[in-house]
């Protein structure tokens, strides 16, 4: 059995049941989470033969940061449940793999601690009703060395989870969430998600931080175009791991429309959701993504193997991608194109 496929069961042995459930679950009826991986596996390749694939190069850049493989780690909450050092351990694993880490604004680790690890990292932000609270967090992220802001745009309200047991929020100890927000300063309502955001927020975030802004949660070409026109440096095709609108289209199937809308715009295109194999990454890159993000696999790897587990996960997926590129007959990332897929 592939090591990656053993991770979730091994993590389940170590995690409290509500935490394991929280990591794995989708929203509502679980339709989107359930079909994400199968959607990637539904693509069929049209491989080239008789091309020289003796040297495969997986190196690229993400918003100017060099990365060894086009595989990055998505922002996820509650990493201190996976490893006592939480986001710092995740960052160490990502640094050793020479990749980039997305860090949740819910992080239980201060951005100063995280920055000290030395991994390139992007702050994921939920803009909350009180803009001052958002700005303070952004300031801390800039001080901690964040290189970009990921604006999560698919969460005007939080997706409904149907728990058949105590919810994770009933069992986790204090101090594992929101280490970068002085919660006591604000009334509860202040920290609720802003549900009145428009593309103007992209310019506001860019100006206030001086960092490039990547919009996460885009599933339509017309929205991607609105983001690009408003100054987004990047777009992440994502349905939040099936945790927001249940029944939202699979990212594997949303990607072509978004890629077409962004062609020639200079806005970098990324994708996440259900990506578990080298062949899935190959399909994503062929469809126009510059790199992919993985969410749950990184949580399982961190739980099971700490930072070394995260490094191995990225390394193993990179090896699978390299192998698949040899078999599809294309040795360079730049030459991967939609024509490799039977559509």
Q: What residues make contact with ligand FNR under the rule CB under 6 A?
A: 22-23, 36, 74-77, 104, 106, 124, 152, 216, 238, 240-241, 243, 272-275, 294-296
329 is in an annotated binding site: no
Please, what is the minimum distance in Å from the beta carbon of residue 329 to ligand FNR? 28
Smallest separation (angstroms) from ligand FNR to the CB of 334:
25
Nearer of residues 67 and 271 to ligand FNR, judged by Cβ: 271
Of residues 258 and 275, the one with the C-beta less far from ligand FNR: 275
- Say how far apart CA 46 and CA 29 lie, in whole Å: 35
- Per the CB < 8 A criterion, the answer to whether 50 and 310 are in contact is no
Told to judge if 280 belongs to the known catalytic residues of this protein, a careful annotator would answer: no
124 known ligand binder: yes
Consult the annotation and say whether 243 binds a ligand.
yes
How near is the Cβ of 247 to ligand FNR at its closest, in Å?
Answer: 16
The H-or-E segment that residue 51 falls in is none
Pick 244 or 307: Cβ nearer ligand FNR: 244
3-state secondary structure of 44: strand
- CB of 75 or CB of 120, closer to ligand FNR: 75
Q: Cα–Cα distances in Å, from 196 out to 62, 67, 134, 156?
A: 29, 35, 15, 8
Angle between helix axes 296-328 and 3-14 (nearest 10 degrees) is 180
Tell whether residue 311 is among the known ligand binding residues: no
Reduce the DSSP state of residue 165 to 3 states and report it.
coil
Residue 238 marked ligand-binding: yes
- Give the nearer residue to ligand FNR in terms of CB position, either 262 or 317: 317
Q: Tell whether 186 is in a known binding site.
A: no
Q: Determine if residue 165 is labeled as part of a ligand binding site.
A: no
What distance in Å separates the CA atoms of residue 292 and residue 272, rounded to the nearest whole number?
6
Provide the minimum distance between the beta carbon of 82 and ligand FNR in the complex, in angstroms, as a whole number: 9
The torsion angle over the Cα atoms of residues 243, 249, 254 and 258, rounded to 10 degrees, is: -70
- Four-residue CA torsion sign, 197, 198, 204, 210: positive
Distance CA(333)–CA(99), nearest Å, equals 16
Q: For residues 93 and 312, give the distance between their C-alpha atoms in angstroms, rounded to a whole number.
A: 8
Smallest gap, in angstroms, from Cβ of residue 195 to ligand FNR? 16
Whats the size of the chain, residue-wise? 343
Pick the catalytic residue: 20, 98, 240, 280?
240
Q: Could you tell me the CA-to-CA distances from 302 to 18, 78, 87 in Å, in that order? A: 17, 12, 10
Structure tokens at 132: 């001052």
Residue whose CB is nearest to ligand FNR in the complex, by number: 295
Q: Which residues are catalytic?
A: 240
Q: Which residues are annotated as a binding site for FMN?
A: 104, 124, 152, 216, 238, 272-276, 295-296
Q: Which residues are annotated as a binding site?
A: 22, 104, 124, 126, 152, 216, 238, 240, 243, 272-276, 295-296
Q: Which residues are annotated as a binding site for glyoxylate?
A: 22, 126, 240, 243
């Amino acid at each position: 059995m592939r090591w990656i496929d053993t991770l979730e069961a091994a993590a389940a042995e170590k995690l409290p049941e509500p935490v394991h459930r929280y990591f794995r679950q989708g929203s509502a009826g679980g339709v989107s989470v359930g079909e994400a991986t199968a959607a990637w596996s539904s693509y069929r390749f049209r491989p080239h033969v008789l091309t020289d694939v003796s040297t495969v190069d997986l190196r690229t850049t993400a918003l100017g940061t060099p990365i060894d493989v086009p595989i990055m780690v998505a922002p996820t909450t509650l990493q201190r449940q996976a490893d006592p050092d939480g986001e710092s351990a995740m960052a160490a694993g990502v640094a050793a793999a020479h990749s980039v880490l997305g860090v949740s604004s819910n992080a239980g680790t201060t951005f100063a601690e995280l920055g000290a690890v030395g991994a390139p990292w992007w702050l994921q932000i939920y803009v909350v009703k009180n803009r001052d609270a958002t700005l303070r967090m952004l300031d801390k992220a800039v001080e901690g060395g964040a290189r970009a802001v990921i604006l999560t745009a698919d969460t005007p309200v939080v997706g409904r989870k149907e728990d058949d047991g105590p919810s994770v929020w009933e069992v986790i100890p204090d101090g594992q969430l929101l280490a970068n927000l002085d919660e006591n300063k604000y009334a509860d309502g202040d920290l609720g998600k802003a549900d009145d955001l428009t593309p103007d927020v992209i310019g506001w975030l860019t100006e206030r931080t001086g960092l490039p802004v990547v919009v996460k949660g885009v599933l339509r070409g017309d929205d991607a175009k609105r983001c690009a026109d408003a100054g987004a440096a990047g777009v992440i095709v994502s349905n939040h791991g099936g945790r927001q609108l249940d029944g939202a289209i699979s990212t594997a199937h949303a990607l072509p429309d978004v890629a077409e809308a962004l062609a020639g715009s200079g806005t970098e295109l990324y994708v996440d959701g259900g990506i578990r194999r080298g062949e899935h990454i190959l399909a994503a890159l062929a469809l126009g993504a510059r790199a992919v993000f993985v969410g749950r696999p990184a949580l399982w790897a961190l739980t099971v193997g700490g930072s070394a587990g995260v490094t191995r996960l990225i390394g193993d997926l990179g090896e699978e991608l390299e192998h698949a590129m040899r078999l599809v007959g294309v040795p360079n990332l730049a030459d991967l194109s939609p024509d490799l897929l039977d559509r």
